[in-house]
Chains A and B, each alone.
Chain A
C-alpha cells in the first residue's frame, strides 16, 4: 500500500518535472558543456572546432600580458599596472558594466522612491510609464537613442538651428555608457519600486524615535528590507551590460569594444569558434563570481532573490 503510494508519487513528480527537465538539460546545460569542451579544441582552416585538445585558446587570452606600469590622463586618470589586449578588454567590460550599473542605480533609486510615495492614482500612472519601456523591444529603443544622437539627428539639427556647436557623441565610450543606462533603467526601476512599495515607512519613524539619524535609519532599517529589489535590479542591469552586443554596435559603432561583442564576432565576422567559446566561458566565470560576491555582501536570506 505505502509502496504503491510512493511509486505513484514519484511517477507524478517525474511526469511534472520531465518535460522541463529535459528542455533545461538538452537545450541549456548540454550546449553550455559543449561550448566548454570546444573552448579546449583547436580550430580548422575555416575557424570551426577540430581536434586535438589544447590550452591555446586560453593562452591566447593571456599571452600578451606584460607588467608595464603607466599613468595617462586620457578620459580621466588612468593608472595601469599590466598591459594586454584581452586583459584590457575584460577590464574595460567589467568597468563599464559596473559604472553603468551604479549610474543606473543612482538614477533609478530616487525615481522608484518618488513613485512609491505617490498617491495611488499617480502611482499607477507612473508604473504604467515605466512598464512601457520595460516591455518595449530593446533593439528598437537603442535604435531610437542612436537616432537622437546621430550627427544629423534631431539633437544636432536643433543645436545647429540655434546657432550652437553640434555634439559629436555617437560612437564614443560615453555613448555606450548612455546607451547602457538608457537600455537598463526600466529593469532597475521596476524591482526597486516593487521593494520600496512594500516598505513600511513607520519603521523609519520608529528608528528615529529610537535615536537613529536619517543615514543610520536608511542603512540599518531600509537597506536590508529593500535589498531584494536592489540585488535583482543590479543583476538585471549588470549581466546584460557585460554581455551587451546591440549597445556596443549601435552606440559605440564597434569602436568601444566589450567582451560580449568580441565573442559575437568570433561567431560571425571573423570565425573562430574555439577562441570565442573560451572568451564566453571566461565571461560566464566573471558574471558568476560577481553575482556570488554581490549576494554575499547582503545577508544570507537574500540569496533567494535569484
Chain B
C-alpha cells in the first residue's frame, strides 16, 4: 500500500496496460466535452507562461504593448551580479540539500521497509507530516528555532531547512522502490560468498540507482522552487533566486524578472525531459 500511495502522491507512473480499443475512439457528446475541457485547461495553464516568455523579448519597459524584439533583458540578467549570486546560492543550496536529503531519506526508507521495530508506525506518521504541514508554518517554526538556538541565518540554515522538507519526499519515493525490490538477488550474492558490504555496493545500490536519481531530481526541483520556507530562513547576502525575484516583484515591474522567469521555465522543461528519459530507460 505504501508503494501505491507514493506513486499516486508523487504522480509517478506505473506500467501502462493495453487498453481496449473502439470505445474511446468514438466522438460522442461526452467525449467532445472532455476534449473541450482538456484543451481549455491546457490553454489556461500555458497561455500565461507563453505570454510571459514572449514579453521577455519585448523592448517596452512597462505595459503589454509590443514594441520590438530585444535581448537586452537577458543581457541585463547575465550582467547583474546580484542575480548571478542569487542563482549561485540557489544551486549550492539545492545541490547540498539534495545530497543530504537523498542519503538520509534512502537510509530511512531501507530501515522502514526491511525491518520491523518498535515505534515504527509513529515514525511513518511523522514522515508524512511535513507533507500536510503548510509551508508557511514550517517556515516560521524554523525561523523561531534558529533564532532560539542563536544560529545566524544564511546558507547553512537554508540547507538545513531544505533537507528537512525534501527528505520526506525522498523517503516516500525510495520506500516505493524498495517495496518492489527483489531481495532474492541479494541472497544469491551472499550465497555466492559476497559479504554484506559487497552485496550492498554491487547489487543493492545499482538496482536502487534509478530510484535514487529520480528522488534526487525531485529533491533538487523542490529545493530550487521553494520560496516560502527560504524567505523565512534566509539571511542578508544569502538570497536564493526565488527570494530575489520576490523582492523585485514587490518593488515593481522590471522586465528582467520576465527574462529570469523564462530561463527558470526552460530549466524546468529540461528537468522534466531528463526525468522522463530516465524513466523510459528504466522501463526498457
A contact residues vs B (CB 8 Å cutoff): 9-10, 12-13, 15-17, 19-21, 23-24, 27-32, 34-35, 38, 107-108, 110-111, 113-115, 117-120, 123, 126-129, 131-141, 143-145, 147-148, 150, 152-154, 156-157, 182, 185-186, 189-191, 193-195, 197-198, 200-202, 228-229, 232, 235-236, 239-240, 242-243, 245-246, 249-250, 260, 263-264, 267, 273, 276-277, 280, 283-284, 287-288, 291, 301, 304-306
User: Could you say which residues of chain A place their CB within 8 Å of the CB of B12?
Assistant: 194
User: CA of A140 to CA of B160 in the docked complex: distance in angstroms?
Assistant: 24
> Nearest CB to that of B249 among chain A residues?
A143
Asked whether any CB of chain A lies closer than 8 Å to the CB of B78, the reply is no
User: Could you say which residues of chain A place their CB within 8 Å of the CB of B246?
Assistant: 139, 246
> Interface stretch among B68-76, B81-89, B139-147, B180-188?
B139-147
| A17:B49 contact, CB within 8 angstroms | no
Asked whether any CB of chain A lies closer than 8 Å to the CB of B63, the reply is yes
Shortest CB distance A144–B (Å): 4
| B272:A128 contact, CB within 8 angstroms | yes
| B163:A27 contact, CB within 8 angstroms | yes
User: CA of A13 to CA of B272 in the docked complex: distance in angstroms?
Assistant: 35
| B9:A250 contact, CB within 8 angstroms | no
Contacts A34-B144, A198-B14 known; A232 to B8 CB distance under 8 Å?
yes
Contacts A140-B261, A201-B20, A280-B137 known; A246 to B9 CB distance under 8 Å?
no
User: Could you say which residues of chain A place their CB within 8 Å of the CB of B62?
Assistant: 152
User: Could you say which residues of chain B place their CB within 8 Å of the CB of A132?
Assistant: 268-269, 272
User: CA of A119 to CA of B21 in the docked complex: distance in angstroms?
Assistant: 9
User: CA of A40 to CA of B161 in the docked complex: distance in angstroms?
Assistant: 25
Partner of A138, one of B8, B143, B227: B227
| A232:B65 contact, CB within 8 angstroms | no
> Nearest CB to that of A266 among chain B residues?
B140
User: Could you say which residues of chain A place their CB within 8 Å of the CB of B271?
Assistant: 135
Contacts A27-B145, A306-B128 known; A280 to B136 CB distance under 8 Å?
yes
| A13:B111 contact, CB within 8 angstroms | yes
| B41:A139 contact, CB within 8 angstroms | no
Partner of B228, one of A127, A144, A156, A246: A246
| B11:A28 contact, CB within 8 angstroms | no
User: CA of A151 to CA of B49 in the docked complex: distance in angstroms?
Assistant: 18
Partner of B115, one of A13, A21, A201: A13
User: Could you say which residues of chain A place their CB within 8 Å of the CB of B103?
Assistant: 19
| A260:B136 contact, CB within 8 angstroms | yes
Partner of A291, one of B132, B268, B269: B132
User: Could you say which residues of chain B place their CB within 8 Å of the CB of A191?
Assistant: 8-9, 11
Contacts A27-B163, A190-B11, A229-B8 known; A32 to B141 CB distance under 8 Å?
yes
User: Could you say which residues of chain B place their CB within 8 Å of the CB of A118?
Assistant: 24
Of A119, A126, A132, A288, most buried by chain B (CB within 10 Å of CB) is: A132
Shortest CB distance B170–A (Å): 9
Asked whether any CB of chain A lies closer than 8 Å to the CB of B194, the reply is no
| B268:A135 contact, CB within 8 angstroms | yes
| B107:A20 contact, CB within 8 angstroms | yes
User: Could you say which residues of chain B place their CB within 8 Å of the CB of A12?
Assistant: 115
| B137:A140 contact, CB within 8 angstroms | no
Asked whether any CB of chain A lies closer than 8 Å to the CB of B236, the reply is no
Partner of B245, one of A129, A140, A249, A284: A140
Contacts A114-B38, A154-B51, A263-B137 known; A20 to B228 CB distance under 8 Å?
no
Contacts A228-B5, A283-B137 known; A34 to B145 CB distance under 8 Å?
yes
User: Could you say which residues of chain A place their CB within 8 Å of the CB of B148?
Assistant: 34
| A29:B126 contact, CB within 8 angstroms | yes
Of B2, B41, B138, B140, most buried by chain A (CB within 10 Å of CB) is: B140
Shortest CB distance A27–B (Å): 4
Shortest CB distance A230–B (Å): 9
Of B13, B105, B258, most buried by chain A (CB within 10 Å of CB) is: B13
Partner of B105, one of A20, A111, A141: A20
| A263:B136 contact, CB within 8 angstroms | yes
Return the 7 tightest CB-CB contacts between A and B, nearest first: A243-B134, A190-B11, A16-B111, A20-B108, A31-B145, A31-B141, A144-B48
